[in-house]
Amino acid sequence: MILVCGEALVDLVPQTGGDLWRAVPGGGPANAAVALTRLGEEAALVCRLSGDVFGQRIRDHLVERGVDLGLAVAAREPATVAVVGLDADGAAEYSFYLEGTADWQWNAKELPEPSGGVRAIHTGSLAAALEPGAGVLREWARSHRGRVAVFHDVNARPAVGLDRAAFAEGAGRWMDAAHVVKVSDEDLAWLEPGRDPVTVAERLVVRHELDLLLLTRGGDGAVALSAHWGDRVAVPGARVRVRDTVGAGDTFGAAVLARLSDLGYLDRPGKLAALDPGTAAEVLGFAAAAAALACTTEGADPPDRAGVERFLRGTSEYR
């Protein structure tokens, strides 16, 4: 099983014409948990779920998609809401309503002790950045990194109004706690404006001694780097008819973990150090295909494993 820890919120997604919005359960970690189940992995979402109307909708959505909520905390605070805007190319931008909401109020007593069947902890997005809960989650993940692989998705959200320097410091601490880090070129453009993202990623790998760093570049594909091998690995972007990009990055990260699990690299954290560039390229290609397919649907609607495998065989179904 993979534990995904973080927010489960409601996205208000614009409908055709732009005058109406539809309430769609989302949040990066919740999307990743759904993607993992679609790809055949058992996933439990460690989250704080509101008891309000939106919170119940989120709960129903996750249960229907096979996500284990046995470790979810019943929270008194309201659910978080994100309003989604789409540009002409379908790229998503977000505005958040998160003051005093359920997702960020963690205390150490609410977090579980991972069972022997847990192979990885997936963290990231706003829950890993917003206090008071972010520091609590980071120490929890750090305390278990010797037993399970820790994956961190930086997923910077400048629209929330976070201080750049403070966010960068927190992201660095998360990288020290993680074995695998996913970061986008947009994340790095905000964190270190004007610098080449690949060069920044290379520096991060060395500084934090990462077993694997995944740099996603939207339609231009993705790059994998490791502190254990000098050459970087790159795959091109897949050409699809883009509906929108909501949930694509979350799907990418989930697909990386699913494929690493398939190949036995999550059996124990130390095995990730043995990942070679050729295998990393195969993992990267699988994840890039899954993320591309997530762009062909409305909202966060990740593909299943069969769909990804058909896509990799070269079918034209989604093109």
Is pLDDT above 80 for 19? no
Q: Please indicate, yes or no, if residue 138 is contained in any of the structural domains.
A: yes
Total domains in the chain come to 1
Quick one: tokens of 126?
């706003």
CATH code for position 43:
3.40.1190.20
Instruction: Provide the pLDDT for residue 84.
Output: 79
Q: Please indicate, yes or no, if residue 224 is contained in any of the structural domains.
A: yes
User: 308-311: long-range contacts at Cβ-Cβ below 8 A with a sequence spacing of 24 or more?
Assistant: 308/39, 308/255, 311/238
Task: State the amino acid at position 256 in one-letter form.
Answer: V
Instruction: Provide the pLDDT for residue 277.
Output: 96
Q: What is the pLDDT of residues 67-110, one digit of tens each?
A: 999 999 999 999 999 887 777 666 777 788 888 999 999 999 99
The answer to whether 310 and 317 have CB atoms below 8 angstroms apart is yes
Q: Please indicate, yes or no, if residue 319 is contained in any of the structural domains.
A: no
Is pLDDT above 80 for 162? yes
Q: Please indicate, yes or no, if residue 294 is contained in any of the structural domains.
A: yes
Rounded Cα distance, 202 and 229, in Å: 11
Instruction: Provide the pLDDT for residue 93.
Output: 75
DSSP secondary structure letter of residue 194:
T
Specify the pTM: 0.92
Q: Please indicate, yes or no, if residue 131 is contained in any of the structural domains.
A: yes
Q: 298: domain range?
A: 2-312
Q: Please indicate, yes or no, if residue 317 is contained in any of the structural domains.
A: no
Q: Please indicate, yes or no, if residue 318 is contained in any of the structural domains.
A: no
